[in-house]
């Protein structure tokens, strides 16, 4: 009886699930923040139509896990990590930032080490902070 080779997509799914569960809450990481909203628009560099826009909201109880899956379902080792952008926003005086990231995953399992995915994510991140009452 031969042992079935693990599927790369299942391995990635399990690693992401494990990392998600180890992540602290938004409240633990950013106690001054009530919520974080991320608006995302995607661009398919190969044409054929752009993936549907997406919106994510993170409350204080949410996991502070800001890795977004690549919309290209066959992408291997790709996606978008918004952790740095969110950290930069929270540490600044701003309430909103915009930016973009290009997926550096592989287009599919047959093209690993040959052809990058290159889907683009354009994002707008907003934060809402609770007012602090100043004591005198």
pLDDT in tens, 5-34: 668 889 889 999 999 999 999 999 999 999
Task: Please compute the mean of the pLDDT values over residues 63-73 and round it to a whole number.
Answer: 95
- Is position 30 within any domain? yes
C-beta of residue 86 within 8 angstroms of C-beta of residue 125: yes
Q: What is the pLDDT of residue 9?
A: 85
Task: Please compute the mean of the pLDDT values over residues 57-72 and round it to a whole number.
Answer: 96
Distance, in Å, from the CA atom of 105 to the CA atom of 120, rounded to the nearest integer, reads 11
- Is position 66 within any domain? yes
With pLDDT > 90 as the criterion, what percentage of the chain qualifies?
71
- Is position 51 within any domain? yes
User: Any residues with CB less than 8 A from the CB of 118 and at least 6 apart, and which?
Assistant: 45, 102, 103, 104
Q: What is the pLDDT of residue 1?
A: 53
C-beta of residue 41 within 8 angstroms of C-beta of residue 121: yes
pLDDT in tens, 73-124: 899 999 999 999 999 999 998 999 999 999 999 998 888 889 999 999 999 9
Question: Which range marks the domain in which residue 103 is found?
Answer: 24-129
The continuous run of DSSP H or E covering 85 comes out as: helix 83-91
- Split into its structural domains, the chain has a count of 1
- Is position 79 within any domain? yes
- Is position 6 within any domain? no
- Is position 61 within any domain? yes
Q: What is the pLDDT of residue 6?
A: 67
- Is position 103 within any domain? yes
- Is position 84 within any domain? yes
């Amino acid at each position: 009886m031969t042992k079935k080779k693990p599927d790369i997509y299942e391995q990635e799914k399990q690693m992401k699930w494990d990392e998600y569960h180890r992540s602290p809450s938004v409240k633990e990481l950013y106690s001054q923040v009530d919520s974080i909203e991320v608006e995302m628009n995607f661009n398919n560099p190969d044409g054929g139509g752009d993936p549907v826009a997406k919106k994510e909201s993170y409350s204080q109880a949410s996991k502070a896990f800001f890795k977004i899956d690549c919309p290209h379902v066959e992408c291997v080792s790709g996606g978008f990590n918004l952790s740095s952008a969110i950290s930069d926003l929270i540490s600044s005086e701003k309430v909103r930032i915009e930016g973009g990231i290009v997926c550096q995953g592989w287009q599919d399992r047959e093209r690993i080490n040959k052809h990058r995915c290159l889907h683009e994510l354009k994002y707008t991140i907003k934060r809402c902070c609770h007012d602090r009452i100043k004591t005198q």
